[in-house]
Chains A and B, each alone.
Chain A
Amino acid sequence: MRSASFQIHLASKLATALLAVAGSVVLLLALTRFIPGDPATVILGSRATPEAVAALNARIGLDKPLIEQAFAFFGRLFSGDLGEDVFNGRPVLSLVLGALPNTAALAISAMLTAIVLGVPLALVSARWPGGKIDRLVAFLSVGFISTPSFVVSVFLLMVFSVTLRWFPVLGAGESGDLGDQLWHLVLPTAALAAGWVGYIARLLRSSLLEVLSESHIRTLRAYGVSEAKILMKYALKPAVLPTVAVLGMGFGELLGGAVFAEVIFNRPGLGSLIYDAIRTRNYPVVQGGVFVIVLLYVLTNLIADLSQSLIDPRERARLVSGRGAVT
């Protein structure tokens, strides 16, 4: 794996990732200037006289040309400065770093829960396709996928917070108190993971069935290898490849797209930080938050890509030998 071909492959992926990050930041800077509304009108409300708006925009640097603002953003980036909250001058980096662990914890726990539940369901379904269990899993999976997450969230809150009072509604838990933080994580994780459980179960089941119909599996059966062993040892590994790719994308999506869970459960995460900042046109916070999400999204996809290359023996062989196109 340490051949020149692999290094080229890695360099190419990194370059694409960097371009994606830079491109999205430039696009974001342009977009935020074209949408109507600015922080001055939000801050000043009905007191926003043209003079007051102009004065406030000058104070927070929004009166400068777009290109100057873009250069300033990238210039600051190299020194780890993402700008300041326009309303109170707090460093955006500290806001983003404060929110990121809450979002990351939720995304990781939701994805782990989805894997832990989804993979066994897929295995059971693929083991007895068309059977009662397969039909039940299909029914549940489609149910989980098609029920909007906010409906699941409100249902969970009404049952487990209001009626049973087992889990809290608000926030991410006391800082430094791991038990409390885990406690606050349970309901949003369940709400966010539900759809993914169904999705992984359906996706992996299809891949497993495809692999199980291949001739080498038939050969294994002819040799008398047990179905459980075939499933776990010979079918799961190749079947899991498409799921890994989807999980990579999905994890990135969860980092940026957990907004609904953060809003409903009032978790101070990255999604809700950006959501609030967009509503108040707090551009530096939007830019800083989106930049970090894009960075993480690209990074998780890169990791998923590379993992696929490592798991898939065909891809691995091609990279080692230096033959064939890099995809």
Chain B
Amino acid sequence: MTFNPTRRQVLLGGASIATVVALGGIHPAFAAEDRSKITVRVEKDLSNLDPANRSGPIDLNVLWSVQQGLISFKPGSTEWELDAAEELEQVSDTEIRFKLRAGLAFTDGYGELTAEDVKFSFERFIKPDSEGKPVTYAKDWSALDHVEVTGPLEGRIILKNPAPALYTIALADGSGRILSKKAFEALGEKAIATKLIGSGPYTLKEWTPREQFVLEINPDYKGPIKPHFLKIVGKPIGEQKTSEIAFQSGEIDFTAIDPENGKALAALPDASVTEIPAIDYVWFGPNIEKAPFDDIRVRQALRYAVDIDAILQGAYSGLYPRANALLAPSLLGYWKDAPVYARDLEKAQALLAEAGHADGFKTKLTIEANARYEAIAQIIQANLAEVGIEVEIEALESAAYWALGENDASKDLELSLIKYNGKFDPGFQTQWFTSAQVGQWNWQRWKNADFDALHEKGGITVDPAEREKIYIEAQKLLDESAAFIWITHNFNAFASRKWLKPGVLPNGNNWLYTAFTEATA
């Protein structure tokens, strides 16, 4: 922002404020709606636009609209459709053949999109970067052996092992975006973090850090996806309350909201609210290496002592669905017959007595500091007090809380309340509970060789029916351990103008800007 006004500008500015205020005027931000453009709220600013080093869904949502993949997600679905690829065929468990559409071109004069660009973009994930370090999202392509270019627009993706999750985790996701090799070599790795070159339906016209980014239709785009709006403006607004006020004032057209405010916002004359069950997983559980939680009877007692329905009522206003296992209903491997544990204080007390803790004990519950998790922790604290377990709540600021995933810091935890984001493949969810994750993200420090084997098997099994069985078996083992007390898969709510149909994917965190359209009556 520059701020060097002339005297004339100062006088003009002051006079204009006075005049419009006096006349009850309307600021341009509140002017009549222009339906060729929408303004959406994003929770934070863009950060890194290199697909291999991106830093979350805000970046990814923009990448999806500006860069193409061989395939992309269908609007509102976990299924995929062809994008830059005209043909894509799984030739064998370890080989995928592709043929690109002709005439796809990168912006800024970087030429046609070719199979060489595909090879370059995907193999970046399995090669060290310019400083000899792996890229941030290297794991997404861990199954990749190499990409073979068989013609200007054709090639073969050769895998080291079968990888059915590759389609949703990499190819259709951010790690499957196709960079221009020429642009990368001309601009350098550092520059592509902020300079986005693509061949997709939109171009990133402007990115003013911490103020806004602007997507505009790419006039040279020749792919199959038809974007609706000429311009999409993203405003980073960290505070949820501010975004809801901005929505009410008409300054933004779309925002994620707290589901509890859904009714109030839906009552506005020009607003509609969209609700989407999420695929995250919120649970609490003990560190089973620590006494007395090394005794399964104590863990079972916890499960009977805590009232999950009361948590859903008290901390989630009764709006969020209950989770009874790891995988959400919309995912492959959903265990619909998972046991639903009702609160039973007698059973809990009997189990504690059997384990030699009839008089209870003291413990600590570690949570990420925010109002909702504090409410959950207080309900757990009150519930466990009824069976003699005295809980001290330790609320850590976000970065300090997630630092528990480093340097084996989780070994000192006792009870912890955790929320992980879900992805569309069940293997993404099960990976955090393997033995190898103890010391990192398996904070319950639960180790089970059978579970590890099932996770491995699920990752290389191609048949969906077989995979489903594998993941249900894996969830049964989680249940038997009594180390995981599931609370909810979360719930997303969005407020938008009545005339706007948002392009949100089923996890709620990811949006396809290309799928934002005008609502039909």
List residues of A whose CB falls within 8 A of some B CB: 35-38, 41-53, 55-56, 58-59, 87-90, 95, 98-99, 101-102, 104-105, 154, 157-158, 161-162, 164-172, 175-176, 178-183, 186, 263-266, 268, 272-273, 276, 279-281
Contact = CB atoms under 8 A, between A and B. Distances in A.
B333 to A, nearest CB: 19
B480 interface: no
A95 B209 contact: yes
B47 A87 contact: yes
A263 B238 contact: yes
B183 to A, nearest CB: 17
B17 A99 contact: no
Contact of A99 (B28, B193, B210, B235): B210
Contacts of B25: 166
A170 B237 contact: yes
Q: Which 9 A-B pairs have the closest CB atoms?
A: A37-B399, A268-B210, A37-B403, A55-B133, A36-B400, A36-B403, A179-B13, A101-B3, A88-B193
B268 to A, nearest CB: 10
A181 B17 CA distance: 11
Nearest to A282: B47
A171 B235 contact: yes
A92 to B, nearest CB: 11
A46 B55 contact: no
Contacts of B3: 101, 104-105, 181
B210 A281 contact: no
A182 B399 contact: no
20 contacts: A37-B400, A45-B402, A45-B421, A47-B136, A48-B405, A48-B406, A50-B406, A56-B136, A95-B210, A165-B26, A169-B242, A179-B16, A181-B3, A181-B13, A264-B239, A264-B241, A265-B242, A266-B237, A268-B1, A281-B399
A55 B131 CA distance: 10
A53 B133 CA distance: 11
B2 A263 contact: no
Nearest to A38: B403
B44 interface: yes
Contact of B48 (A87, A158, A281): A87
A276 B210 CA distance: 10
A161 B190 CA distance: 41
Nearest to B210: A268
Interface residues of B, number: 75
Given A95-B209, A101-B2, A154 B235 contact: no
Interface of B: 1-3, 5, 9-10, 12-14, 16-17, 20-21, 24-30, 44-45, 47-49, 53, 55-56, 129, 131, 133-134, 136-139, 190, 193-194, 208-212, 235-239, 241-242, 245-246, 248-252, 396-403, 405-407, 409, 420-421, 432, 440-441
Given A52-B134, A52-B136, A178-B10, A165 B403 contact: no
A326 B210 CA distance: 45
B475 to A, nearest CB: 19
Nearest to B248: A162
Contacts of B248: 162
A167 B235 CA distance: 17
Contacts of B396: 36
Contacts of A172: 1, 211
Nearest to B10: A178
A151 to B, nearest CB: 12
A162 B17 contact: no
A43 B9 contact: no
**Majority secondary structure, A binding face:** helix
Nearest to A87: B47
Contacts of B9: 178-179
A101 B5 CA distance: 12
Nearest to B439: A50
A280 B16 CA distance: 40
Contacts of A50: 406-407, 440
B318 to A, nearest CB: 26
Nearest to B6: A178
A58 B129 CA distance: 12
B47 A88 contact: yes
B406 A53 contact: yes
B44 A276 contact: yes
A168 B400 contact: no
B271 to A, nearest CB: 12
A240 to B, nearest CB: 26
B210 A273 contact: yes
A167 B53 CA distance: 39
B79 to A, nearest CB: 24
A169 B210 contact: no
Contacts of A175: 1-2, 208
A51 B407 CA distance: 11
A165 B193 contact: no
A55 B130 CA distance: 12
Contacts of B137: 47
A41 B27 contact: no
Contacts of A42: 55, 399, 402
A166 B24 contact: yes
Nearest to B193: A88
B432 A102 contact: no
B1 A43 contact: no
Contacts of A105: 3
Contacts of A164: 24
A186 B133 contact: no
Nearest to B27: A168
Given A90-B209, A105-B3, A264-B241, 18 more contacts: A35-B399, A41-B406, A46-B405, A49-B139, A101-B2, A164-B24, A166-B25, A169-B249, A170-B235, A170-B251, A175-B2, A182-B14, A263-B242, A265-B242, A268-B210, A276-B238, A279-B399, A280-B399
A116 to B, nearest CB: 14
Interface centre among B49, B208, B399, B409 (most CB of A within 10 A): B399
A182 B136 CA distance: 42
B136 A170 contact: no
B402 to A, nearest CB: 5
Contact of B245 (A43, A51, A162): A162
A104 B209 CA distance: 18
A264 B240 CA distance: 9
Contact of A268 (B28, B211, B245): B211
Nearest to A94: B209
Nearest to A99: B210
A59 B50 CA distance: 15
Contacts of B406: 38, 41, 48, 50, 53
Contacts of A170: 29, 235, 237, 242, 246, 251-252
